[in-house]
Amino acid sequence: MAVIRDVMPAFQLYQPSSAADAQKLLEQNGQDALVLAGGLDSMDWLKDRIKKPKVVVDLGGVEGLKGIQETGDGIEIGAMTTLTDIAENPVIRQKYNLLARAAELVASPQIRNQGTIGGNVSQDTRCWYYRAGWPCYRAGGNVCYADTPVGRNREHAILHAERCVAVNPSDTAPALIALDAKFVLATPKGNQTIDAEDYFLGPDIDITRMNILRPGWLLTSIQVPLTWARADFYFEKVRDRNVWDFPLMNVASAMKSSGNTIQEVRIAVNAVAARPLRLKKVEDSVRGKPRNAATGEAAGKLAVEGAEPLQFNAYKIPLMRNLVKRAIGGVEEAAWAS
């Protein structure tokens, strides 16, 4: 029997006007609810009938979740703020250009006009076996189809693969980790604020989820502190096409230097594992070293220690090594300093 596509299952649609009402609806409906932000990822799931929620909570009318505000400690970005607004915001471009650059490299202009920062960091993996409804580990089955002798795994993980080899596809996530951002969550027990890197989950913690959101939880805003404002930033994304594509890999770094000596640095990569990875060993290894090609070369080699390629993605090891090398050593034409 042919698989029917593009016919969405029936569901109840709620369009709350406040974050409190949205969180309450999510709490009341639990596992039966799906959050609709920009809708770009969610609509694919619905049209393919892979996810069949009984309730969809559309956040499009929640004005309190939109916008960018300066605070005494930095900026706060509503989770429903579009990627275009982030990429074009003058304060972000002036102080946190790393995030602006990451946002403007997401997909195409039309998608950035609709897609939101909350949706970009919360989207599900793009593994085609999982998204096509195959009963893999992540979908509750007992096999990873990508990690088999006949599996197609060119875009999959080289690090921290625990049964599932799918990767996180977000472009803004590594930039937010490099900026030491905080995520604000509304939960049934009140608001929680967590580090950006702690928002994401690997399969060793929960193979069925890519972030810590639980039924009844809602990402409401992202706080970026002044700590790394106007640092030296680097962002690079490698993809098959210049528009539309998800990253084969990306890297983000924020650095403070004294002369040519690295004082502090934060660096994160994505699309190499199920969660964006902050490279703490690399950060520790380059602190106090000169910012040059030799330091970058050593950092790149350290970054890929323990990497295990699959049948079709061995290219990711030299790719990651070179991205980290350039992020640390500096490549003028690809770096965006304040």
Give the CATH number of the domain where residue 50 resides: 3.30.43.10
Asked if 25 and 32 count as a contact pair (C-beta separation under 8 A), the reply is no
Q: Which pLDDT score, from 0 to 100, does residue 47 have?
A: 85
Would 36 be classed as within a structural domain?
yes
- Write the DSSP string, 114-143: H-BHHHHHHPPP--HHHHTT---GGGTSS-
For the chain, the domain total comes to 1
| Helix, strand, coil % in the chain, rounded to nearest 5 | 35, 25, 45
Which pLDDT value is given to residue 49? 83
Reported as a single tens digit per residue, the pLDDT across 25-83 is: 999 999 999 999 999 999 989 988 889 999 999 999 999 999 999 999 999 999 999 99
Is residue 92 situated within a structural domain?
no
Residue 39 lies in a domain: yes
Residues spanned by the domain of 48: 12-59
**Residue 166 in 3-state DSSP?**
coil
Q: How far apart are CA 94 and CA 102, in angstroms?
A: 14
pTM equals 0.95
- What pLDDT is attached to residue 6? 61
Report if residue 27 sits inside a domain: yes
Tell me, yes or no, whether 38 lies in a domain.
yes
Residue 16 near residue 22 (C-beta atoms within 8 A):
yes
**Within the chain, which residues score under 50 in pLDDT?**
1-2, 332-338
Q: Decide if 184 contacts 223 (C-beta within 8 A).
A: yes
Half-sphere exposure of residue 166, counting CA atoms within 13 Å on the CB side? Answer: 29
How many other C-beta atoms are found inside a 10 Å radius of the C-beta of residue 159?
Answer: 21
In sequence order, the 6+-apart residues with CB closer than 8 A to the CB of 102 are: 171, 172, 174, 175, 235, 237, 250, 252
Q: Is residue 53 part of a domain?
A: yes
281 is a domain residue: no
Residue 105 near residue 171 (C-beta atoms within 8 A): yes
- Is there a domain that residue 43 lies in? yes
User: What is the structure's pLDDT at 9?
Assistant: 86
Hunting for tokens 């770094």 — which residue is that?
253
